[in-house]
Amino acid sequence: MKLLITFSRKGGREPVIARIVKETGVLINVEKANIDSMAGEMLIDVPDEDASVVLERMEAAGVSVRVLEDAIVRDEEECIDCGACISICPQEVFSFDPDWRIRLHPGVCVLCGKCVIACPHRALSLQQ
Ligand code: SF4
Ligand code: SF4
């Protein structure tokens, strides 16, 4: 399960993720991070069965957590099944079905945004 976490660094530089990994034994995969001196935002991936305990620990540590069910959203009215998103996506989120219609596997999206820029019909957007 993918979780988008945001946190303030005003209170110091406590290694929240490292502490949660150590205390719970849950392996957390950091897929994207944007951290500066004041705040941070991270996209993390955790096993579905461990998501609730990680969520609980994060929130107890003052970290804001959002579950990303469908990180990338496709407007079916706008999509023309051109396949441009297939070639640009580094995570193989897109593929053709047997009828040459685009299908998505949003669970592996890392929110890089490349497909949103590449789509000629502006059919794609990232969950905000
Ligand atoms: S690039 Fe856009 S229009 Fe083309 S298949 Fe992907 S979502 Fe559809
Ligand atoms: S945001 Fe990046 S990883 Fe996600 S579907 Fe688009 S190209 Fe693939």
Query: What atom of ligand 2 comes closest to residue 114's alpha carbon?
Result: 7
Reduce the DSSP state of residue 6 to 3 states and report it.
Answer: strand
- Asked whether the beta carbons of 103 and 74 are under 8 A apart, the reply is no
Name the fold adopted by 72-126. Alpha-Beta Plaits (3.30.70)
2-68 and 72-126 in the same fold: yes
Name the fold adopted by 2-68. Alpha-Beta Plaits (3.30.70)
User: For 11-65, what is each residue's pLDDT tens digit?
Assistant: 667 788 899 999 999 999 998 899 888 888 999 999 989 999 999 999 998 899 9
More confident residue, 61 or 70: 61
User: For 74-97, what is each residue's pLDDT tens digit?
Assistant: 999 999 999 999 999 999 999 999
For 116, the token pair is: 């949103």
Domain ranges of the chain: 2-68, 72-126
- Asked whether the beta carbons of 78 and 123 are under 8 A apart, the reply is yes
End-to-end CA distance of the chain, in Å? 17
Any residues with CB less than 8 A from the CB of 1 and at least 6 apart, and which? Answer: 45, 46, 47, 48, 51, 67
Q: How far is the CA of 108 from the centre of ligand 2 (A)?
A: 8
Residue 35: the pLDDT is 85
Residue 11: the pLDDT is 64
List the residue whose alpha carbon is closest to atom 8 of ligand 2.
89
Residue 68: the pLDDT is 85
Q: How far is the CA of 71 from the centre of ligand 2 (A)?
A: 9
Average pLDDT on 91-106 reads 95
Whole-number Cα distances in Å, 108 to 20, 26, 78: 23, 19, 23
